[in-house]
Amino acid sequence: MAGLAQWFKSLRDVQTGPTGRPLLTDCNSGLTSSINWVQIPSPDPPPLPVGAFETMVKSVSDWVTLAFDRPSARAIVFGVPIKDMDITGNSLNSHLEDVFSSKSGTDDNLLGHTKDITLIPSITEEMKYEPPVLESAAGPHTVINGKDVVNFTSADYLGLLGHDKLQESCTKALEKYGVGSCGPRGFYGTIDVHLDCEARIASFLELLILYFIPMDFPQCLVPFQHFNSGQIAPLDEIVKLREKYRFRVILDESNSIGVLGSSGRGLTEHCKVPIENVDIVTAAMGHALATEGGFCTGSARVIDHQRLSSSGYVFSASLPPYLASAAITAIDVLEGNPNLITKLKENIATLRKGLLDVQGLEIVSDPESPIVFLTLKKSTGSIKGDLQVLQDIGDYLLKEHSIFVATSKRSTVDKCKLPAGIRLYVSAAHT
C-alpha cells in the first residue's frame, strides 16, 4: 500500500497547463470547483505489488487518462471546439464572446448570416382598444363608470355568481384552508377538497376517472369556433366519423356544461352520445359553475399521462381551496334546481324573439345556445369596416341605453378567424 500512496501523491503535483490550477488538490477532496480539460501526464510510480486491488486501480487510472485524452472529451459549443481550457462559467462566456465578436467577415462568422426578424406582430389601433372596466360583480347587472348597466358579456349562464350558497361555501373554506395552496398539484399542493371536487364532478358526469386542472383552463388544442359564435357542434356526426376514420375527439365543454342537455351535463347529453365515446373531455369551470379552474377526463391511460406531464399540474399552484369548494356547491345547486336550465332556455327564447326584427342585423346562432350571435345583414365590404360598425353599435348601446354587449375582436395571431358580430351571453338571472 505504500507504493499506492506514493502514486496518488504524484498526482497531487500534476499541473493542468496554462491555468496553473491542479486537477486534484487532494486525494480525498476530489476535483476543484473548476473543470480543466487537459491531458494528464503519465507519472512514473514505483512498481506496485501485483494484486487484484492494485490491478483495479491501474485500470481505472488508464481509463481516466484515455477519457481525458479523447477528442470527444473536449467541449464543442455552437460548433466551436473548446480545447485545453478552464470551462468555468466566466471563462466559457469570455471565450464565446470572442467567437461571436469575430470581425473576420468569412462565411464561418456565426453572425454573418443572421437577419433581423419581428418576434411580435405590429400593434394596430384595434389592439389598443381597452374595454370598459367593471366596478361591481359581473352578474346580469353591473356598474360601469358609476352607472348601472344590463350585462350581456358575462358567461354566468346559471346566475350562480354571488349565489348565497356559493359564498357561504367559500367563507367556510377560507376559514379552514386560508386563501391559496402555495404548491402545485404534483408537488404537495393537493388538498383534500381538490379530491372531493374531482369526485363530485366525476359523479355528476357519470365518470370513473378525471383530473383537476389547477388554474384557469386554457383554450383547447383544437380551435372551437362553434360555441364562440353560438353554434352547436354536431357531436353525434363527429363521433361517427371518428369510428370510421379512427381519429381522436377532444371535446371542450366549457360553454355547454350546466347549459345543454336535460340535466346540464353538456353536449354529450344534448347529442345523446355516451361520454366514453369521446377520447378527452375538458371544461373550464369559470362559466356556468361561476368559479375557477377546469377539469379533464378520459381513459385511465390518458389521465395518468396528463397528471405527470401537464405543465399546469406540475408548475402552477393548485386551485385555491375555496374555489374548489365553490365548484362542489355549484354542482349541488345545479342538480337540486333543474329549473335554472329551464329559466335559461326561456330567457334565450325571449331575447331571440326580441331581436328578430332588428334592422341591419341577423341572428346566426343556434336557438338553444346561450350565446346569441348577431352579424351584419350587409357587409361594408371589408372586415375592418364591419368590425368598426359593430363596435359603434356596442358603444351606442352602452352610452345611450345602458346595455353592455361584446363585439368581435381580431388578432394577427388568431389561428381561427371568428365571424364579425355581436355576442350576447344570456343568463338565467336576467329579468
Q: Which domains does the chain have, with CATH numbers?
A: 2-73 (no CATH), 141-159+339-425 (3.90.1150.10), 164-336 (3.40.640.10)
pLDDT at 351 over 90: yes
The pTM for the full model equals 0.69
For range 47-54, the mean pLDDT = 57
Q: Is the pLDDT of residue 342 over 70?
A: yes
Residue 14: HSE in the Cβ half-sphere, 13 Å Cα cutoff:
20
Measured CA to CA, the distance from residue 193 to residue 204 in angstroms comes to 16
pLDDT at 378: 93
The residues near 274 (Cβ < 8 Å, ≥ 6 apart) are 268
Residue 9, pLDDT > 70, answer no
Residues 200 and 348: their CA atoms lie apart, in Å, by 28
With residue 147 as reference, give the H or E element that holds it.
strand 147-151
Mean pLDDT of 177-195: 88
Q: Model confidence at 309, in pLDDT bands (50, 70, 90)?
A: confident
Q: Distance (Å, rounded) from C-alpha 75 to C-alpha 80?
A: 8
Q: Are 280 and 298 in contact (CB under 8 A)?
A: yes
Distance CA 348, CA 370 (A): 6
pLDDT mean over 292-320: 81
The per-residue pLDDT for range 91-149, each reduced to its tens digit, is 555 555 555 555 444 555 555 555 666 666 677 776 677 889 999 999 999 999 999 99
The rounded distance, in Å, linking the Cα atoms of 280 and 298 is 5
Q: Mean pLDDT, to the nearest integer, of 189-206? A: 90
